[in-house]
Amino acid sequence: MKKISFSLQLLLGLVVGVALGFVARAGDVDWLTATLTEAGSIFIQLLKLAVPPLVFTAVVVSMANLRNVSGAARLASKTLMWFLITSLIAVAFGLALGLIINPGQGINISTAGAEAIDQEDAGTWLDFLTGIIPTNVVTAFTELNVLQIVFLGVVLGAAALAIGEKAEPFIGFSRSVLELVQKALWWVIRLAPIGTAGLIGKSVATYGWDLLAPLAKFSAGVYIGCLLVLVVSYPLLLSFVGKVNPLTFYRNAWPALELAFASRSSVGTMPLTQRVTTDRLGVDRDYAAFAVPFGATTKMDGCAAIYPALAAIFVAQVYNVPLNAGHYLLIAFVSVIGSAATAGLTGAIVMLTLTLSTVGLPLEGVGLLLAIDPILDMMRTATNVAGQMVVPVLVSRSEGRLDEAVFNAPPQPLD
């Protein structure tokens, strides 16, 4: 297998998974469906196992690394600015596409059986803001609340920066743990072709096209919206702002995009994203150590911009709730500012319920979209991860920190 590139291994996993999924569905082969399900579930569970220590130590170390970066405040502010700008562009695509295709018009779906998630998990603004601060440090990790873990990492990282030399043992410990977790997670990532086959195969075997049929327009809208961001927005920014070749960018970034598509987890893809960003895209390591973990937990153009914009229009049309210009502006505001609510894990339920509750749309609409969420989440996550690599390239270029020799070189092996 070492003779086959990692990108090709992932592609083979996708092809084999789709083929096995169709065989399992067409032949009603229960054991094959169960095997695919278990293979995918074990892979995702291994990724999730690494999330708490990975996120916490990555945030702490990324903040500590800012000490080694000249103009750290300027870099951080530019990074945040481009996160907001690209999110605004993405949500504009989502809203425009929703108004053009009208994804909920003519949909004959019974809304009586649709169930929204519990209101405690629904994500009102008050719940979102108060939920960032943990009531118990331990439960933030045991319950895998990524927002709370990020909050703890930011607070302790800032405190370590303020203390200075006395905090070196803590920062050194965090850096060692991060290295250990990333090494272990890299071993898990090497299993991605098998995990990919299981995840894609399970989706095909379980859902087929049956659930997509009544929601085909909405599903197509999500994929088209993400593709518009990937093939229009990002290439234009890379060409005119970053002054680099978009085709070269995607050639180098392809392994991270493939893994993001299969795993549906920005955080799980983060070690590969960071390696691609530095080793293939030429971004300075110290800056990338801050920008990539920060982006993996907050930069969600697919999950937090395109998807909630389209979903809000879909739910409004299904429930015959009229929307005006004020509602659309509110959707855009929530999508751009509330990106952190998705927190880099699989799915965008919190972001969707936050958007629906803010605009005043029925939360029962969430139940209509849960069944096809895994299929949509693959494309959303790939879009998220692409944005998490585009922004560091743009910022590095504007600061004269981008190594063009590395960026333009033939793709380096990631093993």
Classify residue 276: in a domain, yes or no: yes
Which stretch of 87-96, 200-209, 239-248, 388-397 has the lowest confidence by average pLDDT?
200-209
Classify residue 413: in a domain, yes or no: no
Classify residue 231: in a domain, yes or no: yes
Q: What percent of the chain has pLDDT over 90?
A: 21
User: Which has more confidence, 291 or 130?
Assistant: 291
Decide: 85 and 389 in contact? Cβ < 8 Å: no
Write down the pLDDT at residue 211.
52
Write down the pLDDT at residue 228.
94
Looking at the predicted structure, is the pLDDT value of residue 390 above 90?
A: yes
Classify residue 397: in a domain, yes or no: yes
Classify residue 329: in a domain, yes or no: yes
Classify residue 414: in a domain, yes or no: no
- Counting the structural domains of the chain, the total is 1
Q: Which range marks the domain in which residue 66 is found?
A: 6-408
CATH code where residue 216 lies: 1.10.3860.10
Classify residue 390: in a domain, yes or no: yes
Classify residue 394: in a domain, yes or no: yes
Write down the pLDDT at residue 234.
96
Most confident of 121-135, 227-241, 256-270: 227-241
Question: What separation in angstroms does the CA of 132 have from each of 91, 386, 388?
Answer: 24, 26, 22
pLDDT tens string 8-41:
777 788 788 888 988 888 888 888 988 988 888 8
Whole-prediction pTM value?
0.75
Q: In whole angstroms, what is the distance from residue 159 CA to residue 199 CA?
A: 41
DSSP characters for 100-145? HH-TTTT-----TT--PPPHHHH--HHHHHHHTS-S-HHHHHHTT-
Q: In whole angstroms, what is the distance from residue 411 CA to residue 249 CA?
A: 10
